[in-house]
Amino acid sequence: MKRQPLIALLETYRSLWADESEACDRYLEFVSRNPDCFERSLREGHVTGSAWIVNTAGTHVLLTHHRKLGQWFQLGGHADGESDVAKVAMLEAREESGLAGLQFVSDEIFDIDIHLIPARKSDPEHYHYDVRFALQSMVSDAYTVSEESLNLAWVELANLTEYTTEESMLRMARKWRELQWG
C-alpha cells in the first residue's frame, strides 16, 4: 500500500509528540480514508511535503516569502502523486532554494500541520496535510530565489517573529531548540 510508509511515520510521530496526538489522529484518518491522498486532484485536501531548513551552524532557518500567499513559510509543496514524503520535502527544498549539500537531520518527521488553503481561481478551499522534515545545509548557505517565491531569507531563530507569528512556524522553532539539533 502506497500510504503505509507515511502511516508508519505518523504513528512514530504520534508516539514522540503526544501533545500533538489530536492533529496526528486527524492526519492519519485522512490518509487512511483516501487512497488518492497524495494527489492534488483530491478536492477536500492532499498531502504536502515541507522542509525546515537550517543553516550549517543551525542558528538560522531558511524561509520563503510565498508568492501566492504573500507570507513567510518553510519551503515545500505538493506531493503530486509521490508517496515518499521525505523525497517530496527534499525535492521541494532543492527546487525552491538551489541549495546544494542538504541533508536530513533525522529520518523521522519533524513536524506536521493541517492548514486551510483559501479558494483561488479554479481551486476550491481545501486542506494541506503537511509533513515537515528537518534538513540542514552542509556545504553552502548560498541560495537562489525560485519563481515560486517573492524572496528567500535566512532568519535567525531568535528573530523569527519579525517574519511570522504563525503558530506552526513558532512550534518548529521551539522544537529545533528543544531537541538541541542546532
Please give the average pLDDT of every successive group of 10 residues along the chain, which has 182 residues.
94 96 97 97 96 95 86 94 97 94 96 93 92 94 82 94 95 90 46
The pLDDT assigned to 61 comes to: 97
Where along the chain do its domains lie?
A: 4-178
- Report the DSSP pairing between strands 126-137 and 102-104: antiparallel
The pLDDT assigned to 67 comes to: 77
The pLDDT assigned to 150 comes to: 78
| CATH superfamily, with its number, for domain 4-178 | Nucleoside Triphosphate Pyrophosphohydrolase (3.90.79.10)
The pLDDT assigned to 182 comes to: 43
The pLDDT assigned to 180 comes to: 63
